Amino acid sequence: MILAQSNMLEGLKDQLQHLTADIFWLAPEVTLVITLVLLLTYDLIFRQNKSVGIVAIAIAGLAFSTLLLISNWSELLVTNSLMGGLLRLDQGAVFFKLLFVVGALLAIVMMQRHRKKDFFFHSSEPLVLVFGLLLGVFLMTMAANLLMVYVSVELVSICSYLLIGLYKKKSNSEAAIKYLLFGAVASAVMIYGMSWLYGFTGTLDFTSVQFVNGLYLVPILPLSIALVMTMAGFVFKLGAFPFHIWSPDVYEATPTPFVALLSALPKLAGLTLIFRFVQVLDLDFANWQLWLGIIAIASMTIGNFSALWQKDAKRMLAYSSIAQAGFLLVGLIAFSESGETAALFYGVIYLIMNFAVFFLIQLFENKEGRIPFDNFRGKGNQEPWIGALLLIVMISLTGLPPTAGFNGKLFVFSALWESWNSNGQDILLWVFIFGLLNTVVSLFYYLKIPYFMFVKRPVDELSLNNKPQIDRIWGTILVCPLLIWFFKSDGLLNILNSINFVF
């Protein structure tokens, strides 16, 4: 009995040592939690003039997290299993987390430049939810256990629902409820599929040999149903077909800084989850190329053709984001190293394009928070610099030179073409054809805003902002990478090629 107690103590001691070592690698996540607590505490202590302190705490938290992530990147030599196998940390996860920090920082800049910035900083609630969402996407990039996948997806979803409903207007409440209902259905379907997978394998660790071997013993039909149901939650976070209907109302009603955040971070985190899941479960009878190819074709087609008929910039970009989800999947469908690198490159470019376009169109918001195309009439002549920046971003979103958006689409479609030449899957050719056709279709609505800015006559003398010079500077900072990475993308590609995503 004494020997058993001694062994138990030794085992507990080993577990505590492992957890202590894990804290070092999870220091960025701990920093986010500490920052969140500090924001709440500061809000409770100070009653007035809180905006400066709230912003300072948030920026400091993001800066410290960035330093810790850079430290993880330099010291991470192999994939680390953390928290008893719930999480797996590799350079791919660190890279995406750095992207998410950049996105959160740009969202705070957009809040500061918003015409109703007092709403974002009168209390800590908006930034607390932003940091909660940031923590969720951090965990999504590392999740190696179905339970952790569900917890991280729900953390992101709950913070997203609250961010949308935080702005107390009827349209926001309706959008938040619609998003909540679709999210609840997607989560229920996902966790039901996960329960099937657990019943088939006896483990929640989808990276383990036991999990994969267990699936080989399952008949094709029930296994396919379970995998499709599980994938539903990932596709919902990606904002792709068929879980896309919530997007237009949410984009139109939600304050633009929140829209920029929600349209980029959860989408890239969902892409990461799909990639991890598909990579580990590369089963002979799970034709991921067919399933993901159908989703990509439907997302690109429905998103682009729906965007053609919109009369509001934010609704147009909502449908655009559905189409962009399809383009993001193209690189993954290739199932090759070049496809992985291309998908990563396009993800980086998408984040920059996304925040650039929302930052620039935010300058044209009316008092109701809407951005109809009439708001752009003649503004290119009044503010030629901002008009030129917006034109560059729209060209990049279309995927035309001389912008990095062209490089991104060139890389993903080149990888897809190589994959089709090597294995001859018909779905790859169809994705390639529909992708090119949809790129042409997107040209007609992306250039609609520049058309209104430079061709249409102005109907009023709407001032874009109180300090347009600052907006020009920030807009230029966001647009410059889209031009630089067109002419010189080798540096970014070298970093992406060095990332090892193998679990």
Q: Is the pLDDT of residue 3 over 50?
A: no
Q: Is the pLDDT of residue 379 over 90?
A: no
Averaged pLDDT of the chain: 84
Closest C-alpha among 98, 123, 99, 121 to residue 109: 121
* CB-CB neighbours of 368 under 10 Å: 9
Range in 22-26, 417-421, 481-485 with the lowest mean pLDDT: 22-26
Q: What b/e readout covers 400-431, taking b as 16+ CB neighbours within 10 angstroms?
A: beebbbbbbbebbbebbeebbeeeebebbeeb
Closest C-alpha among 286, 267, 320 to residue 137: 267
Q: What is the pLDDT of residue 12?
A: 47
Contact between 35 and 57 under an 8 Å Cβ cutoff? The reply is yes
CA pair distance 185, 194, nearest whole angstrom:
14
Angle subtended by helix axes 220-238 and 313-333, to nearest 10: 140
Alpha helix (H) residue ranges in 363-467? 379-382, 384-398, 404-423, 426-446, 448-454
Q: Is the pLDDT of residue 7 over 70?
A: no
Per DSSP, 361 falls in state: H
Q: What is the pLDDT of residue 139?
A: 92
Q: Is the pLDDT of residue 421 over 90?
A: no
Contact between 31 and 66 under an 8 Å Cβ cutoff? The reply is no
Q: What is the pLDDT of residue 196?
A: 92
Closest C-alpha among 381, 357, 241 to residue 301: 241
Task: Summarize pLDDT for 110-150 with one digit per residue, the tens.
Answer: 888 887 777 788 888 889 999 999 999 999 998 888 999 99
Task: Summarize pLDDT for 214-260 with one digit per residue, the tens.
Answer: 888 888 888 888 888 888 888 888 888 877 778 888 888 888 899 89
CA pair distance 402, 16, nearest whole angstrom:
54
The pLDDT of 86-90, averaged and rounded, is: 85
pLDDT category of residue 46 using cuts at 50, 70 and 90: confident
The pLDDT of 421-445, averaged and rounded, is: 87
Q: Is the pLDDT of residue 31 over 70?
A: yes
| Most confidently predicted of 106-110, 235-239, 279-283 | 106-110
The pLDDT of 280-305, averaged and rounded, is: 82
Range in 369-373, 376-380, 383-387, 417-421 with the lowest mean pLDDT: 369-373
Q: Is the pLDDT of residue 56 over 60?
A: yes
Q: Is the pLDDT of residue 207 over 90?
A: no
> Which residue in the block uniquely carries the two structure tokens 């790859």?
428
The pLDDT of 468-485, averaged and rounded, is: 88
Indicate left, alpha or beta for 378 from its phi (over 0: left) and psi (-120 to 50: alpha): left
- Domain ranges within the chain, ordered by starting residue: 287-503
Q: What is the pLDDT of residue 289?
A: 83
